[in-house]
Amino acid sequence: DAMVIQNPRYQVTQFGKPVTLSCSQTLNHNVMYWYQQKSSQAPKLLFHYYDKDFNNEADTPDNFQSRRPNTSFCFLDIRSPGLGDAAMYLCATSRDKVEQFFGPGTRLTVL
C-alpha cells in the first residue's frame, strides 16, 4: 500500500543534543510537510517542500531545519532541542497541495 512512513515512532533526546526525524513516502507526491503538534492542539505547520523549493513558515524557530534529498525522503533536524520542543511531529504529503496524507507521527521527548 502507498503510504507515509515516519521513523522512529518514538525518539528520546537530551536537552541541546541534535536530533533528526525521518519521513519517507511511496505516494510519489511532490509536496512534503512537517507539522508540530502539542498535546490537545491542532497541528502547526513548520515548513514544506514544494518539489525542491523550501517554504518556511514565518514563525518557525531557526532551531528547526529540513532537508529533502529526493522526492521520497524528507528530514526534520532540531539543532538544539529544548524542553518546549517535546511534541508529536507529523509528516504529510500531497500532490500539488490538494489533499494531504499524514504519517503516524514521531513522539519526541526531551530530557
Partner 1 sequence: AQSVTQPDIHITVSEGASLELRCNYSYGATPYLFWYVQSPGQGLQLLLKYFSGDTLVQGIKGFEAEFKRSQSSFNLRKPSVHWSDAAEYFCAVLGGSQGNLIFGKGTKLSVKP
Q: Which residues of this protein are in contact with partner 1, per CB under 8 A?
A: 4, 6, 33, 40-43, 45, 48, 55, 88, 90, 92, 97-105, 107
Cα–Cα nearest to 87, from 110, 63, 103, 67 = 110
Shortest Å, Cβ 24 to partner 1 = 14
By beta-carbon proximity to partner 1, the closer residue of 45 and 86 is 45
Instruction: Give residue 81's identity as a one-letter amino acid code.
Output: P
The residue with cell 512512513 is: 5
By beta-carbon proximity to partner 1, the closer residue of 18 and 57 is 57
